[in-house]
A and B are shown apart, each in its own frame.
Chain A
Amino acid sequence: MSFLDSLIKDPKYQSHEPRKPEEIGDPDVIISPDTRREHRIPPGQSRTKKWPVLDAHGAPNVDLTTWTFEVEGLVENNLKFSLDEFLQLPPVKVYADFHCVTRWSRLDNVWTGVSAREIAQRAGVKPEAKFVLALAYDYGWTTNVPIEYFLKEDSLFAFLHDGAPIPPEHGGPVRLIIPQLYAWKSAKWVKGVRFLAEDHAGFWEEGGYHMRGNPWADGDGERFRWS
């Protein structure tokens, strides 16, 4: 495939300039606050119009008929949803940018899914829960997130991106989206969350990646625990 073909055939290629939040129009769309910044690209990042694919092990085979999403740990009610049940939960839409620790940023994304707050509320998260471990279908992959970021208004478990189902290589059927942290915290192929009192390093965090991962912090973002 030629370079030109790859652009034409890439349905996720952005030929337009990123919209401003006030251009979204739909009052029901939650606007991620970082999209309101004058300079939307964090330090050390560059804008990509494509949507690169990065993962630890490649996309797993996720069987949609047996797919489940479970909520456990420091909660009043453990929850378990089939895909049908999950898709019946009240949806939200979020307009957000997406910043990868490998230094690209994809601006102007509309995600549709279930608010992380909705999940937390249904489970009845106990006050001692301070961290969330997201669990994924790819060979035990995990990532840890401080609960205050998990509970941001723009954090959600997304099943649509720009109105279309999220392709498997990008984490479908359902992926976590936490726009205010680097994108590795937005677990692809998510299969559940565990609420914890103590922080517990996830897959990349075990290899020295930052425990929080705020792209706007410290001049060059909170990428690693060694630089």
Chain B
Amino acid sequence: MNEYAELMTGFPLFKGFTINGAKRLLNSGEVKQHVPGDVLLKEGDKADFVLLVLTGTLEVFVDREDEHLILTEAKPGTVLGELAVLCGIPRSASVKAKDNSAVLRWSDEAFRTMLLRDPSLSQRIFREALRTLIDKERSLIDSLVKTHGARG
């Protein structure tokens, strides 16, 4: 527990947290160990928990027909699945462990309570989630521009 708490204080998302502060976040959820190939969530599933990568690497992917598309890799300090929980929509992608990984899992209720009680944490989580979305939008625009350029 101490080891994970210490790791968390080094994540940019939790800058300023003390070990005790990080322990509170750990105690609000459950840490699970995963081996490569473990599927942590599946596209289309009901979203009832949020993940924080503590160690290792997770792979975010979608399967389309015969294609396995890797969307991104999630490293320690990354929160996954929060938007589906907050929006009440099914999972938009699947996640599996690429390496041996430790992952903190908050239930949707625990996650919502944390955000409601702690305006600072709430601001940080939303800021990070929106940044990720904006980056995705930029990538989409870039790829549209490239396609358009190729046609022109």
- Residue ranges of A at the interface with B (Cβ–Cβ < 8 Å): 56, 101-102, 201, 204-209, 223-226
Residues of B within 8 A of A102 (CB): 119
Is B119's CB under 8 angstroms from A207's CB? Answer: no
* Chain A CB within 8 A of B17 CB: yes
Is B15's CB under 8 angstroms from A225's CB? Answer: yes
Is A207's CB under 8 angstroms from B121's CB? Answer: yes
Is A208's CB under 8 angstroms from B119's CB? Answer: no
**Known A206-B24, A208-B15; further 12 A-B contacts with Cβ < 8 A:** A201-B21, A206-B21, A207-B16, A207-B24, A207-B118, A207-B120, A207-B121, A208-B120, A223-B120, A225-B15, A226-B15, A226-B120
Using A56-B117, A101-B119 as known contacts, say yes or no to A226 and B124 having CB atoms under 8 A apart.
yes
Is B117's CB under 8 angstroms from A208's CB? Answer: no
CB distance from A117 to the nearest CB of B (A): 30
Residues of A within 8 A of B121 (CB): 207-208
| Chain B residue at minimal CB-CB distance from A102 | B119
* Chain A CB within 8 A of B14 CB: yes
| Chain B residue at minimal CB-CB distance from A55 | B117
Residues of A within 8 A of B14 (CB): 208
Q: Bound state CA distance, A34 and B15, in angstroms?
A: 31
Q: Bound state CA distance, A88 and B98, in angstroms?
A: 66
Is B18's CB under 8 angstroms from A209's CB? Answer: no
CB distance from A193 to the nearest CB of B (A): 20
Residues of B within 8 A of A56 (CB): 117
Is A206's CB under 8 angstroms from B119's CB? Answer: no
* Chain A CB within 8 A of B20 CB: yes
Query: Which of B16, B18, B20, B119 has the most C-beta atoms of chain A within 10 angstroms of its own C-beta?
Result: B16
Q: Bound state CA distance, A223 and B122, in angstroms?
A: 14
Cβ-neighbour of A225 out of B16, B20, B118, B119 (below 8 A): B16
Residues of B within 8 A of A205 (CB): 18
Q: Bound state CA distance, A117 and B111, in angstroms?
A: 41
26 A–B contacts from the bound complex (CB under 8 Å): A56-B117, A101-B119, A101-B120, A102-B119, A201-B20, A201-B21, A204-B118, A205-B18, A206-B17, A206-B18, A206-B20, A206-B21, A207-B17, A207-B21, A207-B24, A207-B118, A207-B121, A208-B14, A208-B15, A208-B17, A208-B21, A209-B16, A224-B16, A224-B120, A226-B120, A226-B124
CB distance from B130 to the nearest CB of A (A): 15
Residues of A within 8 A of B124 (CB): 226
Residues of B within 8 A of A209 (CB): 16, 120
Closest 8 CB pairs of A and B: A208-B16, A225-B16, A206-B21, A226-B15, A207-B21, A206-B18, A226-B16, A206-B20
Q: Bound state CA distance, A209 and B17, in angstroms?
A: 8
Interface string of B16-30 (1 = CB under 8 A from A): 111011001000000
Residues of A within 8 A of B24 (CB): 206-207
Residues of A within 8 A of B15 (CB): 208, 225-226
| Chain B residue at minimal CB-CB distance from A200 | B18
Residues of A within 8 A of B17 (CB): 206-208
CB distance from A21 to the nearest CB of B (A): 30
Residues of A within 8 A of B117 (CB): 56
CB distance from B81 to the nearest CB of A (A): 22
Residues of B within 8 A of A101 (CB): 119-120
Q: Bound state CA distance, A64 and B16, in angstroms?
A: 37
Q: Bound state CA distance, A225 and B121, in angstroms?
A: 12
